Amino acid sequence: MARPIKLLKWWLIFCLTTLGFAVASYFDMHTILYQADITKLSFLILLIFVFTSIWVGRNTYDLDINKNRKKLDVGWFIAESCLALGMVGTVTGFLFMLGTAFENIDVTNTRTLQDALAAMARGMSTALYTTLIGLMSSLIIKVQLVNYETTETQLQDKNAIE
């Protein structure tokens, strides 16, 4: 009886995440993200997120009274790594924004000011998108891990009573 409930919780998290991806795809966010993120770190974070979610789901499925339970410390590390990669993208975006925007500015020429603003916008979008993707990926992985650990604790308590 414990297996369907614990797996359904993970499945609900996974389906809501998939729905989020579908809505983002409907609004063509993957193209916007590709154009806005000069580092492409957002796609690396998303790839790590997808594989980690499947890995946590598999471990949740395998969680059973008769099996040795695994500590998913690696999952917590991956969640923090997604956050850290998002911050790396943030810093890189700011460096790009501030480093390249003011190189060839001639304040009397409107074209150079427009180019500087465009470069600043590209750097800022990289910073913000990588931060957003890193935060969201980290948060959803952590929710899945909390679900796993809560179920593990419940099974341990049930075994202690029996």
Domain ranges across the chain: 2-161
**Residues 126, 37 contacting (CB under 8 angstroms):** yes
**For residue 80, what are its two tokens?**
């923090």
> What confidence tens digit (pLDDT) does each residue in 105-156 have?
777 778 877 877 877 888 888 899 999 999 999 999 999 999 888 887 777 7
**For residue 62, what are its two tokens?**
């395998």
> What confidence tens digit (pLDDT) does each residue in 62-119 have?
876 655 566 788 999 999 999 999 999 999 988 888 876 667 677 777 887 787 787 7
**For residue 91, what are its two tokens?**
């810093």
Q: Per residue in 95-113, is it b (16+ CB within 10 Å) or e — as a string?
A: ebbeeebeeeeeeeeeeee
**Residues 48, 137 contacting (CB under 8 angstroms):** yes
